Structure 1
């Protein structure tokens, strides 16, 4: 069942409770200030949260104090799935989600979970800032979700040797391992193509799942590996960089369409400035995370990526005949 397929009774009651707690996601207070409520499930030390703080500051300045963003971090108002549902009914203004689960709303977003599409970080950002990359942000409008920008989430790599489980150093080492993935069918196919058993598990439950052997390995970017403390239970980090999955900054289409053209322009400028700031913070956070996990006893290895790429080439060809195949070839051909 997709995130946007809401159970008529249970989900409606949950959303009604959230709506009552949140009030209006975008409302005017006594001083006629437009207040946008933004919620996310990361803590306040992350580059994402710090970039959002800048976004709020710049929107307030650009609007002359007539617009304000109130930020609710660390899952205060729920989790990613709930935030998306709240955006869809207009009870929350903004949030941040990974592009992987967004493929349930925008088919083209599958491209980010297909392994080894992008050669490097510059290649990824040339695409994200291109007309095709920007156009994808608006393709969730029919689901009442509008993307307004991308945040850097780096490249995802495998971490293993959790407890007594064997390490992942080459593609063949994935055979028979239960690997945690996001709620993305494309991510599931990727792990299966490498010989592993893909197991979707929520982020909040993953530490315990790794510790107790529910899954044998996982994959994520360096800052997430560090901040989640997964390095405490997984002592090998294999930097194969199989996918580059950005974060998507979302706003409720209902909220967006009720802003004036000038307000939309102010908000978009504030988002764009926060994107540039977050990329700077992300690069520093990645460097610091790798140093920290090494200091904590994690072995960080850089395998031959060509071996991993060869294993998933058939996955690329499996999309032949689908619209996404044309997008895949377009990206590969980008200089």
Structure 2
């Protein structure tokens, strides 16, 4: 009897272990990917990242699941990029300039008035020059999934100020907030402005305390940051095109089947189209709120005047060796 009882116990354990193994196998069949962003989930961009995740799950029949971590839950931008390279997270979605450490030529995307419009910028990104940058990123372990580069941020840029800014001459002496980009700060210095680097999250306070008198921003982020409470003059400058890239650890990407790779790329490009739709809707609502609650004044500029004013600076970048010789003319010749 004891022997029989022992055999029953062994058989029970085998069945339990077998069941657990099958359960583990089923779980292992689902590949989960972590996507980190800095945008809150209730913004147009935040909704777009979830739309991307939903598309991936649907297209892969649940074999591939993207879990979105919004609002810097996984850390600041540079931390998340490091995490991605180390493999502790799989993807990070942000502006292309966040990846300029892997190729300094990415910085040209934020040089004021180097690109005529977003179409011109897309030609740069999807043409030979952009493909060279993409390869450098891949060589450094980073792959951009949205190959069409159609995830427009903005969809345009504005300058918020405490006094009206209508021409390039009005920039002279203006204390303007800059982000950490030597290219960007030097560009505004070249037309007489006084750029000051201020963290994005501290810009509202910087305006309130007169550390800066103006800030440039994608129009979609103005209302959430409440800039027009303090700086009610809005100038549509659209000084450079902005987009969001969904980047992924290339080793992880390469480990997936070709079918799953194609699904990620397809979903990322479809998400770009959705982002434009959601952002346009959001911006219209924000503009109405800013007009009714903050009584903003909006100014248009003579864009050619501003392009001419910044043109000399473009070539200074070549003379200083910050971008390759002939790079500016190569960009400007793109049709």
Same fold (TM over 0.5): yes
User: What's 1:46 paired with?
Assistant: 43
Q: What is the alpha-carbon distance in structure 2 between the residues aligned to residue 332 and residue 224 of structure 1?
A: 29
User: What's 1:328 paired with?
Assistant: 328
User: What's 1:61 paired with?
Assistant: 58
Q: Which of 34, 38, 41 matches 1:37?
A: 34
Q: Which of 304, 312, 315 matches 1:314?
A: 312
User: What's 1:83 paired with?
Assistant: 80
2:78, 2:98 within 8 Å by CA — same for their partners in 1? Answer: no
1:139, 1:146 within 8 Å by CA — same for their partners in 2? Answer: no
1:40, 1:72 within 8 Å by CA — same for their partners in 2? Answer: yes
Q: What is the alpha-carbon distance in structure 2 between the residues aligned to residue 215 and residue 124 of structure 1?
A: 29
CA RMSD of aligned residues (A): 2.3
Q: Which aligned pairs between 1:234-273 and structure 2 lie closer than 5 A?
A: 234-273=231-270
Q: How far apart are 1:310 and its partner, in Å?
A: 2.3
Q: Please give the TM-score of this superposition, normalised by the length of structure 1.
A: 0.82
User: What's 1:305 paired with?
Assistant: 303
Matched, 1:200 2:197: yes
Question: Which of 76-85 and 230-239 deviates more?
Answer: 76-85
Q: How far apart are 1:331 and its partner, in Å?
A: 3.2
Deviations 1:43-90 (A, max 9, x none): 123222222112111111221211100011122222222211211211
Give unmatched runs, 5+ long, in structure 1: 1-27
Deviations 1:80-107 (A, max 9, x none): 2221121121111111122233323222
Q: Please give the TM-score of this superposition, normalised by the length of structure 2.
A: 0.82
Which structure shows the bigger proportion of residues in helix conformation? Answer: 2
Q: What is the alpha-carbon distance in structure 2 between the residues aligned to residue 66 and residue 160 of structure 1?
A: 49
Q: How far apart are 1:200 and its partner, in Å?
A: 2.2
Change (3 A) 1:100 1:290: farther
2:160, 2:215 within 8 Å by CA — same for their partners in 1? Answer: yes
Q: What is the alpha-carbon distance in structure 2 between the residues aligned to residue 229 and residue 260 of structure 1?
A: 45
Change (3 A) 1:101 1:267: closer
1:98, 1:246 within 8 Å by CA — same for their partners in 2? Answer: yes
Q: State which structure, 1 or 2, has the greater radius of gyration over its C-alpha atoms.
A: 2
User: What's 1:71 paired with?
Assistant: 68
Q: What is the number of equivalent residue pairs in this alignment?
A: 304
